[in-house]
Amino acid sequence: MPEREEEKTGIWRQRIQDAIKLATIGEWQKAIEANEAILKVFPTDVDAYNRLGRAHMELGEYKKAKDAYSKALEISPSNLIAQKNLDRIALLKGSSVAVNEHRRKLSPKDFIAEVGRAGMVNLQDVAPRALLVKLVPGEEVFLDTRNQDSVIKNFKNEYVGTIEPEHGLRLAKLYKSGNKYIAAVISIDGDKVKVMIREIHQDESQRGKLSFPIKVETLPAHVNDRLLRHSAGEEEGIEEVDYGESEEAETVPEGFSIYDGYAAPSDIRVEGGFGGQE
């Protein structure tokens, strides 16, 4: 009997990994089927309901997403992931969010860079929540300048927020001098937005100048893809995100870690996620 229970547990864990992988690569319909299969056997699996809600949201099926998150909250009344997503769905009512708009998601691998070439920044003076709730972790955003400031815009060229001066003033100067950057949303929690930025081209005139000096939060040369799993503002862990998140740490796109300074152990574990959950 113990062996059968162990086998059952093994199958359950494999199905969870399959569901997470499908979400990570954007196979949302298959992710729905995978999580529904889990729920047929484990009808009180809160994480599966959260992942199911995330998949329905990605497909623009907000009523079904609401039902999934509501079920998760019914099973676990203190579940922050479900509650935050229900709040987000409420804000989305009446707003025009097209399914699979021309937004693009970036991979954590896009942000592997030499020390000082990539970093994480906070936004201030952010756009209204009606626009912020449409953002998803991992979504590509764009660096621009406004006077002396660096600003972030979405794929529709809509203003998202201004990069905090500590990093923004330097980035604006480098950008205007010819440097080029890619950027992606890491997390959205109310009016708190974090963005990852990487220098992809350094103008000859800026040779030797770091985009992210030592004191700034920077990425290690090698990033462990297993660090994290997330979503838009949820404090989640590996199995309690839309992909497998948990209500433990700050959210970050899958494959990234948040830390101060240059060196971070390769096994640092922080929550969040590109392809994470919302």
> For domain 108-206, is the CATH number 3.90.320.10?
no
CATH 3.30.70.2330 residue window(s) in the chain? 108-206
What residues are paired with 185 via a beta bridge?
Answer: 195
User: Can you list the residues of the chain whose pLDDT is less than 70?
Assistant: 1-9, 93-103, 214-278
Q: Which CATH number fits domain 2-92: 2.40.50.140, 3.90.180.10, 1.25.40.10, 2.10.60.10?
A: 1.25.40.10
pLDDT at site 190:
80
- Give the alpha-carbon dihedral of 99, 197, 269, 239, to 10 degrees: 0
pTM: 0.58
Q: How far is CA 34 from CA 3, 21, 78, 129, in A?
A: 24, 10, 25, 32
pLDDT at site 215:
58
CATH 1.25.40.10 residue window(s) in the chain? 2-92
